[in-house]
Structure 1
Amino acid sequence: MDRKKSDRIKLIQQALQDQKAIHLREMAALLDVSEMTLRRDLGRYPDKFHLLGGHITLAFDPCDTAEYKLAEQGTRHVEEKRRIGKLAAGFIQPGDTVFFDCGTTVPFVVDFIPDDLEFTAVCNSLNVLLKLQQKPNCSIVLCGGTFHRKNQVFEHRDESSILDSVRLTWAFVSAAGVSQTLGVTCFNFNEVEVKQKVLRQAQHCMLLADHTKFDAVKTAHFATLEQFHVVVSDKKMPKTYRDLIQANGAKVVI
């Protein structure tokens, strides 16, 4: 369904908060509009956006070409995460209560939640909180505590009582590694307790993992693949994992 022009402009600005450039073709596909329509939109805001080599950037000094080239090198991996975010956001319904995990993929989910959707969000990380506060109809529950700068997570033993009082429709959980034999893992032990609790308490559990996370194992184990009802990845997700997850009765979305 086509988005209104003002919504498209806002989403482009949100996307460029996470990276310096995104290809015009990729953004047009994510917004469900033609490249020509998107070019017209951008042309109305020359003070906000530039088109350079087929990439959309925020307006900046044209002499700053080194920064642009560096950003262009890293667009592909972020674009895959953005696709995952778009697919995952489509599962949220009005009135849902959703836990948003920490990590670099989860903020992209928030980007694609319509501004007029009323829902409750539970989170324990700063990067996700900053995205959620841009959604005017979102009620936010933050699991507070000690702030860990490395992964931007708030950790406190009392946060378990906060989660105990919340009933979750969805738990959107990220991972740094997914293995058939060694399960689902992350880098930091201070994430494990919350991940495990929301997986136990949510009606529906969703794993967000791009193709680079499969056949990878990190330090902290927190789940098995069987605990997830839906796995959202990209088109390069290994077929062996697709078959395994579907055989366990879960849904794969790519």
Structure 2
Amino acid sequence: MPVDSKKSDRIKLIQQALQDQKAIHLKEMAALLDVSEMTLRRDLTRHPDKFHLLGGHITLAFDPAEASDYKVTEQGMRHVEEKRRVGKLAAAFIQPGDTVFFDCGTTIPFVIDFIPDELEFTAVCNSLNVLLKLQQKPNCSIVLCGGTFHRKNQVFEHHSEATILDGIRLTWAFVSAAGVSDELGVTCFNFNEVEVKQKVLRQARHCMLLADHSKFDAVRTAHFATLQDFHVVVSDKKLPKAYRDLIEGYGARWVV
């Protein structure tokens, strides 16, 4: 195969990978493509209009004019390895026949990556990035809470979605957060996420908080829960010991 053709194929594969997970480490992508990191760096520098290399992670180029206080694409570039670990640990809890609510945010798609394709389950979601991941699972039945689409956090919001959730019984609620504080509670960036988060926490049989270590001792604008509301907390190995002790004190389980 001609050299230029190989380069073109690599560029296409990188673009496909980034459609799914927003950011991927240079070393990981080089291994997937079976090329050296130096070769991959040269490929990327030839296409500054397509890719950015930030902190060792490859991302799709985006228009800075579109930047906002919180963007799913921007947040997806942060703590990718930790989010991948959280996703793998959380996915192991899903059993055949479960009905699972998948929250919005950038950690949740990593959970879906680790769900076996052969597993039959029902997924409930209210965000575009999660929906796009779920539709790749051939044995997953999907329920989407529709409504007005908010581009900033890719969430669908509609007051009637409460009636959709009222008719569903959840085995698990997988809930993400942007801030976790024992004193000030569990928080997110956007008020349009609060109602659904609180509803699924009330009616799910088991509630799981997914948050990498960077979220702990952080406080964001919109409060929706306390640590006591969760049965399981999944994080990475850098989860502060003080929070491990708090979680156990509340009778919950922590997994790292």
Q: 1:245 aligns with which of 247, 253, 256?
A: 247
Listed as ranges, the matches of 1:39-58 within 5 Å are 42=32, 49-53=33-37
- In structure 2, how many angstroms separate the alpha carbons of the residues matched to 1:247 and 1:188? 29
Q: Classify the secondary structure of the residue corresponding to 2:124.
A: strand
Amino acid in structure 2 at the alignment position of 1:80: E
8 Å Cα contact 1:20-1:68 kept in structure 2:
no
When residues 129 and 205 of structure 1 are mapped into structure 2, their CA distance, relative to the original with a 3 A threshold, is same
2:210 alignment partner in structure 1:
208
8 Å Cα contact 2:145-2:161 kept in structure 1:
yes
Q: 2:125 aligns with which of 119, 123, 126?
A: 123
* TM-score in terms of structure 2 length: 0.79
**Deviation (angstroms), 1:224:** 0.7
2:21 alignment partner in structure 1:
18
Deviations 1:150-190 (A, max 9, x none): 11100111100000000000000000110011110111111
**Deviation (angstroms), 1:19:** 4.2
Deviations 1:74-109 (A, max 9, x none): 777111101100100000000000000000100110
1:160 alignment partner in structure 2:
162
- In structure 2, how many angstroms separate the alpha carbons of the residues matched to 1:107 and 1:20? 12
Q: Classify the secondary structure of the residue corresponding to 1:51.
A: coil
8 Å Cα contact 1:15-1:111 kept in structure 2:
no
8 Å Cα contact 1:20-1:71 kept in structure 2:
no
| Percentage identity across paired residues of the two chains | 71
- In structure 2, how many angstroms separate the alpha carbons of the residues matched to 1:219 and 1:148? 17
Deviations 1:110-135 (A, max 9, x none): 11100000000000000000000000
Q: 2:227 aligns with which of 225, 236, 239?
A: 225
Q: Classify the secondary structure of the residue corresponding to 2:254.
A: strand
Which segment drifts farther, 75-84 or 124-133?
Answer: 75-84
When residues 95 and 50 of structure 1 are mapped into structure 2, their CA distance, relative to the original with a 3 A threshold, is same
Amino acid in structure 2 at the alignment position of 1:213: K
8 Å Cα contact 1:50-1:59 kept in structure 2:
no
**Deviation (angstroms), 1:249:** 1.0
1:35 alignment partner in structure 2:
none
Paired residues, what number?
Answer: 223
- In structure 1, how many angstroms separate the alpha carbons of the residues matched to 2:170 and 2:234? 19
- In structure 2, how many angstroms separate the alpha carbons of the residues matched to 1:226 and 1:158? 28
Amino acid in structure 1 at the alignment position of 2:230: F
Q: Classify the secondary structure of the residue corresponding to 2:119.
A: coil
The root-mean-square deviation of aligned C-alpha atoms, in Å, is: 2.8
Q: Classify the secondary structure of the residue corresponding to 1:99.
A: strand
Q: Classify the secondary structure of the residue corresponding to 1:91.
A: coil
When residues 181 and 142 of structure 1 are mapped into structure 2, their CA distance, relative to the original with a 3 A threshold, is same
* TM-score in terms of structure 1 length: 0.79
Unaligned 5+ segments in structure 2 are 1-12, 59-76
Listed as ranges, the matches of 1:53-132 within 5 Å are 53=37, 63-64=46-47, 67=51, 69-70=53-54, 72-73=56-57, 77-132=79-134
